[in-house]
Structure formats: C-alpha cells, structure tokens
Amino acid sequence: MESPPKSPNRSSGTSLMENLLGLLRVRVKRGVNLAVRDVRSSDPYAVIKMGKQKLKTHVMKKNVNPEWNEDLTLSISDPNLPIKLTVYDHDTFSKDDKMGDAEFTINPYLEALRMHLEGLPSGTIISRVQPSRQNCLAEESCIFWNDGRVVQDICLRLRNVECGEVELQLQWIDLPGSKGL
C-alpha cells in the first residue's frame, strides 16, 4: 500500500507555529546624536534583522536625534540568533549611507521571562545587563516588571561610525498555538 503524497507546503511535518516560541516587540524609541551624513543633518531610519527577518522604521527627515517610537515585531524561533540593528541615512538620488550598526542578544531577557514573576510591584528590576566587549550596550540595561509584563530597556552604542546611540525597548508577546518559552 502506497503512502499518500506529501503536501508541498509542509516541511517534514512541522508547521511554523510548532517552532515558534513567540513574538518579540522591539520598540525603536529614538536615536541620540546620530552621525551627520548630508550637508548639515541626516535622514535616518533603522533596520532590524534577525535571521531572515528584516524590518525597518520610517525615515525621519533632517534629524540626528529622531524620535521614531515605532514597534517592529520579530517572530522568535531561535532565541540564540543575534539581533542586528543598522541605521541608514536615506538618500533620494544615491545609495543610502550607513550610519552605524549594533548587535544584541535576547538571552538575558528570555531568562527573566522564564522566571514567571507574576504579582511583583510595577517597576521592580528583575536583572541588569552590564556593557561589555561582547555587547553594544552604551550603559547598563535593566530588565524590569512593568504593569504585568517583563520589559527591557536597551541603549545601544553604534559601531563603525563616529557617534550615535539608539534606544530600544523589548516586550514579549505570547502566541496561542506556539511552542512558548
């Protein structure tokens, strides 16, 4: 007896949801003292990459201290992949100029999430991540409990550029049907 043919859109019997741990909402808050790439200013936007996912913010015209306050959502299936942030200067008639990059991991954040700390007072600091040669932190990053959620504030110092920092905030979104943490 022959087995039925495999469906072409199923890869070895596992669906995307079965591998998915959940979603990570990365709020790209703002850039601080970004490099000037045009005559007197820059038109910056940020790109976040993790594995094959690539998301970007809107372009902020003529602003080296942009307030993006934009939420970009990544699907997390491999939490060990680094997240890379690159800032570019948007140019109309030529290739966009790179304004620096940074990289970070979400392992400390996920460890805090796995602690299941329901019932803590809002504002309680769960853990702190120190700047080191292994990360791009500009200052200590606090992971804290805020209104029933684990949140991490991150300030990244951009590399490969003369100046600039980007402030982010991480928040986890549980997905029904996903593997979960």
pLDDT tens readout for residues 42-60: 999 999 999 999 999 999 9
Q: How many CB atoms lie within 10 A of CB 159?
A: 12
pLDDT at position 13 over 90: no
pLDDT at position 14 over 60: no
| pLDDT class of 9 with cuts at 50, 70, 90 | very low
pLDDT at position 15 over 60: no
CATH of domain 19-173: 2.60.40.150
- Phi and psi at 34, nearest 5°, equal -70, 160
Give the global pTM.
0.87
